[in-house]
Amino acid sequence: MRVCILGNGLSSLALSKALVNEKIYVDLFYTKKIQKISQSRTIGISKKNINFFNKHIINIDNFIWKLNEIHIFSDNLKNEKLLNFKNNNDQLFSVIRNHQLHEILEKNLKKNKYFKKLKFKEKSNFFDKYNIVINTDHFNLITKKHFNKKIIKKYNSFAYTCILDHQTISNNIATQIFTKKGPLAFLPISNEKTSVVYSFKNYKKKEDQVIIDLINQYNFMYKINKINKIESFELKSLNLRSYYHNKFLAFGDLLHRIHPLAGQGFNMTLRDIKIFLNIIKKKKELGLPIDNSVNREFEEKIRHKNFIFSNGIDLIYEFFNLESKLKSTFLSKSIQFVGSNPKLNKFFSNIADKGF
């Protein structure tokens, strides 16, 4: 069996590695355009997804930074914790830099006999020899032709990312602060480095110094030695209306893109890979053909879950957006009360870990 994958991002590389581990041949096609891998962006991966990644894709335990606590604050309650998620015995989730994970996957795949990486030529008809073509690329002809119907929400915001170099501390607590200007997250990646993601509510891109001043204003944990290069991107959420067209299947953030406030974007993709892999393995075990029936079954199993989950993230954003506009502490106190209930706290932790 041979599968075609279009795109060279983390989603396509992780899926490729999962498939070649099952002795499935993968031809990955990339465009001529050089893909710039961000040096400042990081990925949060839940405990359950890390276990899946290590077992079915590639073991990255030596490269991740494990966190066992998440503190959530709000401008309205100043220094009082709004929510606190904690696991003293094990990690709640782990963090790894985007470019590092990309390098690990690429390096491993290059040595695999089941994997080929080729240049993508849109005018050729090479798709005919594949039963399934998995598309992760937003800009190719397949996307424009078959996957242009989507639900998009623009947040009129930019996300600003950077890496802090700071004095050495025991750094295993992630912090999220819902500021008046948007969610600000501090995500440790070592005892000396912490990733920052600031989703700043503004129609226009801000100067770096504005973001630096705000990071310094809300930082109460680190003695910062250096704030490295700040990168930015426009924020929007996206849900594709149809996951497949005949043999063509959309995948990764071509299917769904969400607000980064909960760090769940790549976790959704990993859950998609798990479902897709299980469908393929089951068909192989039963001796059934690997054709577009895989695409249909994949959409039936996961589309509604992804839609509910992504809308749940958007609801959290809108709730805190409303909360930040109010002078009253009523909503903040209500969240604080709900979060203090151990059963509800565990329920929300499980959703973040496993999805729906």
Structural contact between residues 162 and 189, judged by C-beta atoms closer than 8 angstroms: no
Domain coverage including residue 290 = 2-354
Is 134 strand, coil or helix? strand
Helix 330-339 and helix 342-354: axis angle, to 10°? 90
CB 192 within 8 A of CB 165: yes
pLDDT along the chain (356 residues), means of 10: 92 97 93 73 94 96 94 82 77 92 96 92 75 92 91 92 96 92 95 96 85 94 96 92 95 93 90 96 89 94 93 87 73 73 72 66
Q: How many CB atoms lie within 10 A of CB 345?
A: 16
pTM: 0.92
Nearest to 218 by CA among 160, 266, 299, 279: 160
| CA 156 to chain CA centroid, nearest Å | 20
The CA distances from residue 19 to 5, 45, 179, 195, in Å, are: 11, 20, 42, 31
How high is the pLDDT of residue 356?
60
Return the percent helix, strand and coil in the chain, to nearest 5.
Answer: 40, 30, 30
Residue 266: name the closest of 56, 44, 92 by CA: 44
How high is the pLDDT of residue 21? 96
pLDDT attached to residue 355? 67
In angstroms, the Cα distances linking 155 to 76, 152, 201, 202, 316 are 22, 10, 8, 9, 13
Segment (H or E) for 176: strand 173-179
Q: Which residue has the tokens 């991107």?
A: 233
Q: What is the CATH number of the domain that holds 211?
A: 3.50.50.60
DSSP-assigned letters across all residues of 56-120: HT---TTT-EEE-EEEEEEGGGTTSEEEEEE-SSS-SEEEEEHHHHHHHHHHHHHT-TTEEEEE-
What is the predicted pLDDT for the residue at 10? 95
DSSP class of 132? -
pLDDT at 122: 65
11 SS3 class? helix
Largest CA distance in the chain: 63
What pLDDT was estimated at residue 34? 57
Measured between alpha carbons, how far is 205 from 115 in angstroms, rounded to an integer? 40
CA terminus-to-terminus distance, the chain: 31
Number of domains into which the chain is organized: 1
